[in-house]
Structure 1
Amino acid sequence: MHLVPLCYLLWIFQGVLGQFPRACVSSKNLLEKECCPVWSGDGSPCGQLSGRGSCQDISLSRAPEGPQFPFSNVDDRENWPSVFYNRTCQCSGNFMGFNCGDCKFGFIGPNCKDKFLAYLNLAKHTTSSDYVIPISTYAQMNNGSTPIFRDINIYDLFVWMHYYVSRDALLGGSIVWRNIDFAHEAPGFLPWHRFFLLLWEKEIQKLTGDVNFTIPYWDWRDAEECTICTDEYLGGRHPVNPNILSPASFFSSWQVICSQSEEYNTQQALCNATEEGPLLRSPGNHDRERTPRLPTSADVESCLSLTQYETGSMDRAANFSFRNTLEGFANPLTGIADASQSTMHNALHIYMNGTMSQVQGSANDPIFILHHAFVDSIFEQWLRRHRPLQEVYPAANAPIGHNRESYMVPFIPVYTNGEFFISSRDLGYDYAYLAEPAPDFFQEFIKPYLEQASQIWQWLVAAAAVGGVITAIILGLTSLFCRRKRKRFSEEEQPLLMEREDYLGGNYQSRL
């Protein structure tokens, strides 16, 4: 996490932190016990005409309090703020502030839109100043002599990246090779998407100047429906056409790119980021034989219990592979690969029944980001539970692009898969629901030693017993030797008194 400059904090919270608004400190306000200032945006108290809030009576809690303060009606803070005001602005929606003129934390803009949604929209309509995309293969660029690139907006840049890493290989003529994917169906699935999310988050921070922005996640465990598929969040269902988003949705005007893989294959061409139509989504209207239900908490826990990150062929046929099971090509309760089912990560893509269900174009749907953030959190749980060494990630013989030292496509500068097979905390981020409380002194320093001792207590007892016997033998022999030796001393041969006094005085230092 980065620290926010103090001046930025003060700017964010101006008008919010002051407990006595300047507009409410006149004699009239105090005598009438009312603090409902006018919002300048519409000239009404609490912005009532704009639906931002209204002036309402304060309802005090009647719950009993402890006996530590035995007085009543002697302190202005009692039953706050009734000594000063009985009526204040009660804000609605995403508004807050003494006159409902501000936005709740996490919301921005004149209408207090969700910050995440606003940032998504800004990224969709801002051309990247740092990156362009190739719209032809290297061979089609005459081996580099005729560069063919084009601009792209920041959101679509990441859509294109996800398309490019998973696209089919164009072999010339009408021939394509479909059994290739540099980010799916193999060990690199989790590290690749982890870096993808981190890079996406960094680009949004650079775009907005909001260094504290972090990607939210959707915890879909035990979900019976898409709880974020509403107009308030990521888009509800259209009232007439169930395959597109509601016109009231933030994303109903969005156009997708890179979703027509068969057309690109036929033309032996790359996606050129041309707009191809609206977002498609119809959650729940999917093939229920392939995906009978969304993943449960039990599915996640069973998946986490798998001890091996990767196994066997290291592809979608791998059994007892944590990666393959979390990706969704194996039964989460058994770890056995099943080509007829789509579970875990894959289940959410199939369930959305639209743009999200196409591998190459799935990142067009903003649900992709929230979904993969939660998948990454499960990956993080597995890393913390099993604490694998770097060598656990396959160094060789994985599908193309998935070995530990393989560079991840299409990122420049280059990063290897193995670099992101580490804990999120080593990469500078964490998940709130996984965060562990700071250990106290006993937990951090004493308990580990006691736990180790409990495992070897039999040896400690035996060692103490043997040590006691040896000590007794040594003391016995020493005592016998000393008695025999003293008997041989004559009176003139006794130790000097001064030496004895030095010994008793502590000037003689023995060493163990």
Structure 2
Amino acid sequence: MLRAVLLLLWASNCCRGLIPFTCTSRLSRDSRTCCPAWDDGSPCGEASGRGTCAEFTPPPGARPSPDFREWWPTYFFSRLCRCEPGFRGVDCGECQAGWAGRTCETAVPVAVRRDCSELPAVDRRNLVAALEKAKTTVTDRWSIYGSRGVGNGGTLTFRRSTLYDALVWVHYVTGKPAPGNGRNRPRYGHQSIGFLTWHRLQLVWFEDQLRNITGQRDFALCVWRWAGKPSCDICTPDFFGGSNHGNLLGNFENWTVPCDGPGGPTPSMDIVCPPGGVNLIVRFTRSPGVQLPTVEDKRQCLEMEEFDTPPFDTTSQNSFRNTLEGFVRPRGRGVGMHNRVHQYLNGIMDNVYLACADPIFFPVHIAGDEIWQIWMDNKERKGQTVSYPNHTAIYEGHRGTDYVTMFLPLYRNAYLLKPTRQFGYAYG
């Protein structure tokens, strides 16, 4: 029982992120330890009672793999900070959502994700400025794993990056095909039950980092409620950028795409992330013949009774997850919901590896996260409990007991089913 409690605390109180820069030293690599010192000089703030450096428990059935995404993060580390309740962060130096102050005892309101289409001009400018800062600021907190390939026995190499490009790297690597056989073998974070949990954690992580670099503790991204829209009303030069024959106009028009250098983007893991990136973001709004999802599409999605169904991949029927992700469209043909929005925007947004390079990616996915929360709220009003499926057909990386791939701390997928307020945000 005690072991189960400790595992729960681990999943709910550690840091979030990529590869912490402080854990890329030769000492950290050789010892397989990522337990940075906090302000008091002790690892994980242990002297202040914030956490301890401890062995983590790999997921059940974990085995050595040359693909660093499998059984995350056993390829890199075996010891991480385990934070005490109320604390989180790579060094246990941050507060749990909803709390602030040096001892994390000051309550703060949740951040509110508002409708992008209704944001006042001053808030639009503030959001754009935060994204620009993330794109241009080289982060001293996170790094990109830059080895040429996996399993080659070479030295683990890391490189510096801007905050935004580090986030693109995570989505790029996660979106590459997963190892193993099977025509419908899903990618990490996509094409299976972990699609919603992976992207929820990505969005929460990004908002946390934007608050850190802007100093705005109530900062939140906005939601683009695309269902029923006749066109992209936020694709304007003064907001998320206009489009002219594939070229962005206005904001973000000079942004380049990371991992798009010589040899990339590529589905192969032989080249993890080609350095460089000289190509600009491409967006064709809209693809010929593609319309945004309708209000009826959204209604049918919310009517799905089951969170997900066997075989838990792109062929799953009567599945809320697969309907929202867009591989099935009830009483309709072609792709639906989330996938249809990506097709509509086209360009790099229609590239599973690099879609995150276009900042409109975030309000698009936030809309999906809101729909998920509405579905969960509807279940609660009916007195129904939603549990993460436990089934042998679920692939590694998507099971409830698996850690969300490419993020630290080791949040298990099943933990992300909690209400959004427990992660520090709500919708307004």
Q: What TM-score does the superposition give when structure 1 sets the normalisation length?
A: 0.56
- Per mean C-alpha deviation after superposition, the further-off stretch among 356-365 and 265-274 is 265-274
Note if contact 2:146-2:157 (Cα within 8 Å) is conserved in structure 1: yes
Equivalent residue, structure 1, for 2:39 = none
Which runs of 5 or more structure 1 residues have no equivalent in the other structure?
6-103, 433-512
Equivalent residue, structure 1, for 2:73 = none
| Residues 298-324 of structure 1: per-residue CA shift (max 9 Å, x gap) | 111111011101112110000100000
Equivalent residue, structure 2, for 1:308 = 306
Counterpart check, 1:380 vs 2:373: yes
Note if contact 2:314-2:327 (Cα within 8 Å) is conserved in structure 1: yes
Which runs of 5 or more structure 2 residues have no equivalent in the other structure?
1-96, 102-118
Equivalent residue, structure 2, for 1:359 = 352
| Residues 93-126 of structure 1: per-residue CA shift (max 9 Å, x gap) | xxxxxxxxxxx97738xxxx71100000000001
Q: 1:319 aligns with which of 317, 323, 329?
A: 317
Note if contact 1:300-1:332 (Cα within 8 Å) is conserved in structure 2: no
Cα distance, 1:214–1:269 mapped onto 2, change above 3 Å: same
| Residues 190-225 of structure 1: per-residue CA shift (max 9 Å, x gap) | 111111100000000011110010110101121111
Q: Aligned partners of 2:421, 2:100: CA distance in 1, in Å?
A: 20
Equivalent residue, structure 2, for 1:436 = none
Instruction: Output aligned runs, 1:56-71, within 5 Å.
Output: none
Select the structure that is richer in helix.
1
Deviation of 1:271 (Å): 1.0
Equivalent residue, structure 2, for 1:244 = 247
Deviation of 1:424 (Å): 1.1
| Aligned alpha-carbon RMSD (Å) | 2.8
Instruction: Output aligned runs, 1:72-471, within 5 Å.
Output: 107=122, 114-136=125-147, 137-142=149-154, 146-169=155-178, 179-238=185-244, 242-246=245-249, 249-259=250-260, 264-265=266-267, 268-286=270-288, 288=289, 292-333=290-331, 341-387=334-380, 389=385, 391-394=387-390, 396-432=392-428
* Aligned residue pair count: 310
Equivalent residue, structure 1, for 2:41 = none
The SS at the match of 1:237 is strand
Q: What TM-score does the superposition give when structure 2 sets the normalisation length?
A: 0.67
Cα distance, 1:372–1:266 mapped onto 2, change above 3 Å: closer
Cα distance, 1:4–1:250 mapped onto 2, change above 3 Å: farther
Q: Which amino acid aligns with 2:283?
A: R
Note if contact 1:170-1:268 (Cα within 8 Å) is conserved in structure 2: no
Note if contact 1:222-1:296 (Cα within 8 Å) is conserved in structure 2: yes
| Residues 453-492 of structure 1: per-residue CA shift (max 9 Å, x gap) | xxxxxxxxxxxxxxxxxxxxxxxxxxxxxxxxxxxxxxxx
Q: Aligned partners of 2:179, 2:391: CA distance in 1, in Å?
A: 27
Q: Aligned partners of 1:282, 1:372: CA distance in 2, in Å?
A: 18
Identical positions, percent:
29
The structure with the largest alpha-carbon Rg is 1
Deviation of 1:262 (Å): 6.2
Deviation of 1:231 (Å): 0.5
Q: Aligned partners of 1:305, 1:177: CA distance in 2, in Å?
A: 29
| Residues 367-400 of structure 1: per-residue CA shift (max 9 Å, x gap) | 1000001110000001111135353433542122
Cα distance, 1:116–1:383 mapped onto 2, change above 3 Å: same
Cα distance, 1:274–1:105 mapped onto 2, change above 3 Å: same
Q: Aligned partners of 1:224, 1:232: CA distance in 2, in Å?
A: 20
Note if contact 1:132-1:149 (Cα within 8 Å) is conserved in structure 2: yes
Cα distance, 1:265–1:223 mapped onto 2, change above 3 Å: closer
